[in-house]
Amino acid sequence: MKPLNKYIDHTNLKPSATRADIEKLCAEARKYDFASVCINPCNVPLAKELLAGSDVKVCTVIGFPLGQNRTSLKVAETELAYADGCDEFDMVINTGRLKDGDTKYVKDEIEAVVAAAKGRTVKVIIETGLLTDEEKACATRIACEAGADFVKTCTGFTQGAATVDDIKLMKANLSGNAKLKASAGIRTREAALALIEAGAERLGTSAGCAIVEG
């Protein structure tokens, strides 16, 4: 197990996040040497500036939080964030298309974002709180086949939160080199460690400082 801090994507995706909030987030990320900060696309240039010289990566979200944008817009978001120097991209799938059984659409869209990321890390949010177990398994397999680096549980902006059972289910359906990110509702060190034990390689949380401090 790597140090707990290196599992954490230190997150502020609030629509009300100010420049001061992002400055605070990045200062905390530097202090605790987190894996990344996860922020909205408009804040990527600021975060890159604030984290220059550190090994904390800058992560942004694509098609967030609903995943209902056109594929071309998700690709454009990825390309713009890439040009801003973003290191990692957490994209939301189109949950409705998955529930329709249109797996080709879902896979093609992930592949398009992966291509736009040009080798940088892509994490695919399947929004577990809206899916049946069968759909969670299906979405995980599709994401792996489409070249995702991580499959991620939730946005935290709809129902549901990261659970040990979902991480175990998703892990059973991983293929290739894909890993798992647990996100939403992770508030304590105990919860974080349980999700890591179940198979999560990253944790998306706004409570990173409290988790590391125990």
Output the domain CATH number for residue 187: 3.20.20.70
pLDDT for residue 23:
98
**Known active-site residue 165:** no
Options 9, 87, 90, 166, the catalytic residue: 90
* Tokens standing for residue 11: 């997150």
Has residue 214 got a pLDDT over 90? no
Read off the pLDDT of residues 116-152 as tens digits, 9 standing for 90 and up: 999 999 999 999 999 999 999 999 999 999 999 999 9
Mean of per-residue pLDDT scores for the chain: 98
Q: Is the peptide bond before 45 cis (omega within 30 degrees of 0)?
A: no
Bridge-partner residues for 36, per DSSP? 9, 57
> What domain range is 177 assigned to?
4-213
pLDDT for residue 1:
80
**Known active-site residue 2:** no
pLDDT for residue 92:
98
Bridge-partner residues for 46, per DSSP? none
Integer Rg of the chain from CA: 16
Q: Distance (Å, rounded) from C-alpha 126 to C-alpha 108?
A: 15
Options 57, 74, 152, 179, the catalytic residue: 152
Has residue 52 got a pLDDT over 90? yes
Number of domains in the chain: 1
12 band by pLDDT with thresholds 50, 70 and 90: very high
Read off the pLDDT of residues 168-200 as tens digits, 9 standing for 90 and up: 999 999 999 999 999 999 999 999 999 999 999
pLDDT for residue 176:
97
**pTM attached to this predicted model:** 0.97
**Known active-site residue 90:** yes
* Tokens standing for residue 15: 């629509």
The label of the residue with tokens 């420049």 reads 19
